[in-house]
């Protein structure tokens, strides 16, 4: 899981795409996914991928490392493509559909901090869900760091070996159990802190950087172009 | 265990819209059933348990490509309604980092959320019969997974989902992916069941055993987390 790596790219890099508003990039993803859903033409997906790669190149991001995440979508779509050979959509189209959607999503999350995306979700989802997502985002890093430390300690003491499945299971049960208890205590502390601060629902989210309309036009234009290509080609 | 890892653009629009509608309906019910004061109080716990589910899914168990789902445990700790919300949050996070498409979040939430709800109900049923909660947890987890897998097989049978896709996944013991294809199914349902039974049995055993170990550890330190009487300190 590379949430920490993605989070770092979204927060600490600066580019035209980073300066575009979260809303404009979500609209871009929605338009690209709409194109992915309606089109079955190889040329559409190739053009969409070219546009998205150009956006990555101007975003000051490690393109190859990020694109390796799209390999996940490629593998699963390959499985689907192979399993349904002989009917329906051509296998190459299935794979291109999956990769195009995944790359657009990667462009969104590597240029937009998660809290900004969740803040947008406040317009759609109930407050409890968005607040809980913000807590999840915050506590995931705390828990991963803690579990990471425990696993390092286990390995140093010979308590974790890739070959011992049953032994690993036993130890992982304790590690995750310990994580649950830590999480429970963390939630109690957080709950007290939130009550003291007068929490009544709706955590505030501040923008990571100033957004301007001129930067926000780029992702919308990109998404619209991809959709237009899908509609007219 | 039964998280669907399919990328966007592969599942037909009809099915992912059905998934989102079902998820919206159950989430609406869950939020209406949770009193506003209780919801505010439990936001930190909800967010953190969703984070623990993500952490559990981040830790591989040695050389076998399997990770824990922890959906049943989330249901036991949070209850069915908040547990369903935790399933939605963890699926949304996974989609944002490319583990399954954003269009599959609805179906994923229905599948993982059903594990939460069924697991909670079965645990409470078995819990009345015994004093120690470890055995009920193992039984509830195993039975829940059997039910959800049977449910998936039922979906295969009635909706002409391609069984080959369900057999594929990053986890050896997991039922992963369900896709409706225009073509006739690639392999027969009977063969699919014959293949899936031993694979699923391993996955169910690992998840049930691990969940039991986690609960055993929690019982030794903070038993009140899983509803057992608190120990004097």
Please report the ipTM that was assigned to this predicted complex.
Answer: 0.78
Residues A184 and A156 sit within 8 Å (Cβ to Cβ): no
| Class of B13-226 in CATH | mainly alpha
Whether the per-residue pLDDT at B181 is higher than 80: the answer is no
Yes or no, beta carbons of B55 and A179 under 8 Å apart? yes
Q: What integer pLDDT is reported at residue B219 of this predicted model? A: 87
Whether the per-residue pLDDT at A113 is higher than 80: the answer is yes
**Mean pLDDT of the A110-126 span:** 85
A205/B contact by beta carbon, under 8 A: no
Q: What integer pLDDT is reported at residue A29 of this predicted model? A: 92
- Our CA-based measurement puts residue B45 at a distance from the nearest CA of chain A, in whole angstroms, of 5
Tell me what percent of the residues of chain A surpass a pLDDT of 90: 18
Q: What integer pLDDT is reported at residue A193 of this predicted model? A: 87
Q: Distance of alpha carbon A12 from its chain centroid, rounded?
A: 16
Whether the per-residue pLDDT at B147 is higher than 80: the answer is yes
**Mean pLDDT of the B198-222 span:** 86
- Tokens representing B157 are 């049978």
- Our CA-based measurement puts residue B19 at a distance from the nearest CA of chain A, in whole angstroms, of 16
Q: What is the mean pLDDT of chain A?
A: 82
What pLDDT digit, counting tens, does each position of B7-46 carry? Answer: 676 677 888 888 899 999 999 999 888 877 777 778 899 9
Q: Where in chain B are the domains?
A: 13-226
Read off the pLDDT band of A145 (50, 70, 90).
Answer: confident
- Tokens representing B21 are 């509608």
What pLDDT digit, counting tens, does each position of A123-137 carry? Answer: 888 888 888 988 898
Yes or no, beta carbons of B217 and A162 under 8 Å apart? no
Which has the closest alpha carbon to B165: A94, A71, A103, A38? A94
Residues of B in contact with A186 (CB under 8 A): 44, 48
What pLDDT digit, counting tens, does each position of B73-82 carry? Answer: 999 989 999 9
Yes or no, beta carbons of A174 and B77 under 8 Å apart? no
**Mean pLDDT of the A186-195 span:** 86
Mutation site, B29, B36, B42, B44, interface A, largest A CB count within 10 A: B44
Whether the per-residue pLDDT at B62 is higher than 60: the answer is no
A209/B contact by beta carbon, under 8 A: no
Whether the per-residue pLDDT at A93 is higher than 80: the answer is yes
Whether the per-residue pLDDT at B157 is higher than 90: the answer is no
Task: Give the Cα separation of B85 and B23 in Å (integer).
Answer: 10
Task: Give the Cα separation of B229 and B12 in Å (integer).
Answer: 48
């Amino acid at each position: 899981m590379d949430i920490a790596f993605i989070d770092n790219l979204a927060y600490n890099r600066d580019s035209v795409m980073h300066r575009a508003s979260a809303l404009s990039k979500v609209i871009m993803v929605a338009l690209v996914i709409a194109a992915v859903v309606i089109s079955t033409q190889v040329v559409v997906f190739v053009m969409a991928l070219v546009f998205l790669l150009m956006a990555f190149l101007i975003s000051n991001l490690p393109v190859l490392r990020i694109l390796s995440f799209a390999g996940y979508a490629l593998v699963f779509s390959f499985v689907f493509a192979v399993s349904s050979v002989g009917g329906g959509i051509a296998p190459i189209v299935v794979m291109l559909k999956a990769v195009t959607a995944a790359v657009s999503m990667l462009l969104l999350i590597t240029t937009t901090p998660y809290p900004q995306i969740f803040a947008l979700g406040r317009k759609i989802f109930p407050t409890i869900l968005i607040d809980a997502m913000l807590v999840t985002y915050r506590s995931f890093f705390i828990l991963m760091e803690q579990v990471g430390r425990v696993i390092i300690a286990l390995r140093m003491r010979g308590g974790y070996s890739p070959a011992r499945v049953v032994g690993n299971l036993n130890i992982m049960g304790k590690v995750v159990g310990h994580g649950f208890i830590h999480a429970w205590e963390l939630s109690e502390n957080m709950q007290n802190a939130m009550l003291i601060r007068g929490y009544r629902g709706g955590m505030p989210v501040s923008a990571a950087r100033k957004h301007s309309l001129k930067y926000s036009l780029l992702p919308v234009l990109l998404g619209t172009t991809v959709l237009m290509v899908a509609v007219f080609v | 265990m039964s998280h669907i890892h399919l990328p966007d653009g592969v599942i037909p629009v009809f099915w992912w819209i059905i998934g989102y509608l079902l998820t919206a309906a159950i989430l609406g019910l869950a939020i209406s059933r949770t009193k506003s004061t209780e919801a505010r109080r439990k936001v930190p716990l909800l967010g953190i348990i969703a984070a623990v589910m993500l952490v559990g899914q981040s830790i591989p168990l040695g050389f076998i490509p399997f990770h824990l789902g922890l959906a049943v445990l989330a249901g036991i700790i949070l209850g069915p309604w908040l547990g369903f919300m935790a399933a939605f949050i963890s699926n949304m996070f996974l989609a944002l980092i490319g583990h399954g498409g954003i269009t599959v979040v609805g179906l994923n939430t229905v599948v993982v959320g059903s594990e939460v709800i069924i697991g909670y109900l079965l645990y409470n049923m078995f819990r009345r019969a015994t004093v120690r909660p470890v055995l009920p947890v193992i039984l509830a987890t195993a039975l829940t997974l059997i039910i959800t897998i049977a449910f998936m097989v039922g979906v295969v049978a009635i909706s002409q989902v391609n069984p080959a896709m369900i057999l594929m996944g990053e986890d050896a013991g997991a039922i992963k992916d369900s896709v409706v294809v225009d073509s006739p199914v690639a392999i027969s349902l009977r063969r699919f069941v014959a293949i899936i039974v031993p694979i699923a049995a391993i996955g169910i055993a690992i998840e049930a055993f691990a969940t039991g170990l986690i609960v055993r550890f929690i019982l030794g330190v903070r038993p009140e987390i899983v509803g057992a009487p608190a120990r004097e300190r």
